[in-house]
Amino acid sequence: MTTAQATSNPSGDLGMAHLGQIIAVASGKGGVGKSTVSTNLALALAAQGAVVGLVDADLYGPSVPGMLGIETGKAPTMSPAGKVVPAIAHGIKVMSMGMLTDDDKPAILRGPMVTKYLRMFILEVEWGKLDYLILDLPPGTGDTQLTLAQAFPLTGAVVVSTPQDVSLKIARRGIRMMEQVKVPILGIVENMSGFTCPTCHEVTHIFHQGGGAKIAESLGVPFLGAIPLDPAIVDCGDEGRPLVIAHPDAPASAVYREIAATLSGRVKAAAGIPTPFDWQWADDTSKPKPSADPAHAGGAAEVPVMLDRRDGRTLTLRWQDGHDQQIDVRDLRLACRCAACVDEMSGRAVLVPSTVPLNIVPTRIWSLGNYAIGVSFSDGHSSGIYTFGHLRAMLAAEVEDV
């Protein structure tokens, strides 16, 4: 992760408080019903009285508009402020690539365009004041997942799997990816858990039984619930009326409501300094504010509660466990682990220290999700990702040198 290219935040309003709690719904593989879970979960939260937005972040295979009966292929309406007006379906606000293109026109996008659209779908939409913004991610652990984890302060992730062993193994990888970028795992949902015969009511576990609960226990993350197979889910999706709307008394609808109730009592803002921020080093414009929760004994070692500068050449950090750290900004530049500074295959440093000016200073420092900062320097270098773990390790190295 540390060798990836850092994405600089464009100038402009980075305020995201109006988006409420940002929850990603993810899966390690396709075909597990993740979009169905995202849609019904958003509607279940709205039924509790919350104001909910839903972003279909699967740009290549958008399916949310069809599930909600939203017309596709029309140019979006723009608000007086120049933002895209989201569609409204069954009481929730929705944004999807499927609303912008016809079904027979694929989205052929390279990585930078994916990033552009994702930012637009979240920052340039007239959401109003939300309680929750649900992100329906594509399957896997690729560009979309990393872009969202770096660019937005995700409250947490819900991971969807089926009881199949192969699905559970891949779900484990998705969970580990989210953990690496410090996105809290809110829980695992086991979809297609068992089929209840509509005639005799006998339950048949087509894809095994209890795998979701077992993997949640083994990884130390919550198990949110098991959603049974229901033939009505397919019909409802095709008709544009999700299950919790069309059949609120169905067993699966009850599970969705239970999951929504659990999440609404569990989600909380990420610990540490408030994000996002885009700090201009020279004049302290947009310097990050200290955390509302002060450092304390037993706090986390890799959660910063304060980011400041002692002087023009010293970056100051205070960690949640109470440790203070002073980093000379040239040492920060020399510690960069990007592909331009460290060989990705061998891990050998390729940056020649003598080429780094003695008077080098940062020009900007910006947040990358909940797990890292990006830094641009006066020598033009700006591709490094400094994870909080990397920065904390520099403190340990300082102690060893004393």
CATH of the domain at 214: 3.40.50.300
Which domain range does residue 340 map to? 278-401
Sequence-distant (6+) residues with CB within 8 A of 167 are 28, 29, 32, 161, 207, 211
Residue finishing a domain among 223, 243, 266:
266
Residue finishing a domain among 204, 232, 266:
266
Whether residues 341 and 303 share a domain: the answer is yes
In a domain, 244, yes or no: yes
Distance between CA atoms of 253 and 63, rounded to whole angstroms? 20
Q: Identify any residues that bridge with 315 across adjacent strands, giving them in sequence order.
A: 309, 327
Digit-coded pLDDT (tens) for 345-387: 888 999 999 999 999 999 999 999 888 999 999 999 999 999 9
Whether residues 27 and 50 share a domain: the answer is yes
Whether residues 177 and 299 share a domain: the answer is no
3-state secondary structure of 203: strand
In a domain, 135, yes or no: yes
Residue finishing a domain among 205, 232, 266:
266
Whether residues 224 and 294 share a domain: the answer is no
In a domain, 208, yes or no: yes
Digit-coded pLDDT (tens) for 123-164: 999 999 999 999 999 887 777 888 888 888 899 999 998 887
Residue 287 pLDDT more than 60? Answer: yes
Distance between CA atoms of 380 and 115, rounded to whole angstroms? 23
Whether residues 42 and 158 share a domain: the answer is yes
- What pLDDT is recorded for position 246? 92
Around 378, how many Cα atoms within 13 Å sit in the side-chain half-sphere? 13
- What pLDDT is recorded for position 108? 62
In a domain, 148, yes or no: yes
In a domain, 290, yes or no: yes
Whether residues 250 and 284 share a domain: the answer is no
In a domain, 378, yes or no: yes
Whether residues 351 and 390 share a domain: the answer is yes
Distance between CA atoms of 370 and 387, rounded to whole angstroms? 9
In a domain, 51, yes or no: yes
Q: Are 377 and 8 in contact (CB under 8 A)?
A: no
Alpha-carbon distances, residue 277 vs 1, 12, 225, 273, 364 (angstroms): 21, 11, 36, 9, 10
In a domain, 8, yes or no: no
pTM for the predicted model, two decimal places: 0.79
Whether residues 394 and 292 share a domain: the answer is yes
Average pLDDT value for the chain: 86
Whether residues 136 and 262 share a domain: the answer is yes
Digit-coded pLDDT (tens) for 184-233: 999 999 988 877 676 765 667 776 677 788 888 888 889 999 998 888 88
Whether residues 123 and 216 share a domain: the answer is yes
- What pLDDT is recorded for position 201? 59
Q: The domain spanning residue 357 has which CATH number?
A: 3.30.2020.30
Whether residues 25 and 140 share a domain: the answer is yes
3-state secondary structure of 100: coil
Whether residues 256 and 338 share a domain: the answer is no
How many domains in the chain?
Answer: 2
